[in-house]
Amino acid sequence: MKDNLIKGIRMTVVLLVLFTVVYPLFVWAIAQLAPNNGKGEVVLYNQNKGYANIGQSFTADKYFWGRPSAVDYNAAGSGASNKGASNEEYLAVVQGRIDTFLLKNPTIKKADLPVDLVTASGSGLDPNISVASAKVQVARIQKARNISYEKLIVLIDANTEDPLFGVFGPQKVNVLKLNIALDQLK
């Protein structure tokens, strides 16, 4: 009995050191190899600081809109609504997003609306949208900014990121970078 207790205490101490000291130091060391030392991709524009790897709120008609956020884009605590697809409250929120989008984009049919424009991501901080989500917003932005359709499509294509290693995940568009490029158009 005494041997088992001592072994248990030793194992607890070893695991405590491993998971509270060694593992965090290992993760920190790996982060130092990443761009900006693991502190995220900082984007500076017009004396404003943003993070390209954290979703931002864009609601003006002249900008591309990103994915909705269940945490109001608060990076201090990411999270989802945790409501199921059959939850009435969740369905009402999604329907409200659909109605708002269709009101601001009258040329779009509900069937053509990409799901990532009306549903929040698991973290609530997704900075990217699908290429289809960007292209479905072109008519609204074209009208708001008086920019040609072709110029906006070229801008989307120029800001489209390919899947990781060409195979992992879909093509995507970073909304913050796209909107900065949009503001820089003459």
Query: For 37-65, how does the pLDDT look when each residue is reduced to its tens digit (9 = 90+)?
Result: 877 788 888 888 778 888 888 889 999 99
Residue 35 is predicted with a pLDDT of: 77
Task: Say whether pLDDT at 67 is over 90.
Answer: yes
More confident residue, 186 or 41: 41
pLDDT value, residue 36: 79
Compute the distance between CA of residue 8 and CA of residue 62 in angstroms, rounded to an integer.
62
Q: Please state, in angstroms and rounded to a whole number, the distance separating the CA atoms of residues 148 and 154.
A: 10
| pLDDT tens-digit readout, 93-124 | 999 999 999 999 999 999 999 999 999 888 88
pLDDT reported for residue 120: 87
Residue 169 CB contacts under 8 Å (≥ 6 apart), including other chains: 163
pLDDT in tens, 138-161: 999 999 999 999 999 999 999 999
Q: What is the pTM of this model?
A: 0.79
pLDDT value at position 149?
A: 94
What average pLDDT does the structure give for the chain?
Answer: 90
| Buried b or exposed e, range 41-75, using 16+ CB within 10 angstroms | bebeeeeeebbbbbbbebeeeebbbbbbbbbebee
Q: Which pLDDT belongs to residue 172?
A: 95
E strand residue ranges, the chain: 42-45, 48-51, 128-129, 160-161, 172-174
The number of beta carbons lying within 10 Å of the beta carbon of residue 87 is 13
Q: How confident is the model at residue 71 (pLDDT cuts 50, 70, 90)?
A: confident
The predicted structure's pLDDT at residue 41: 81
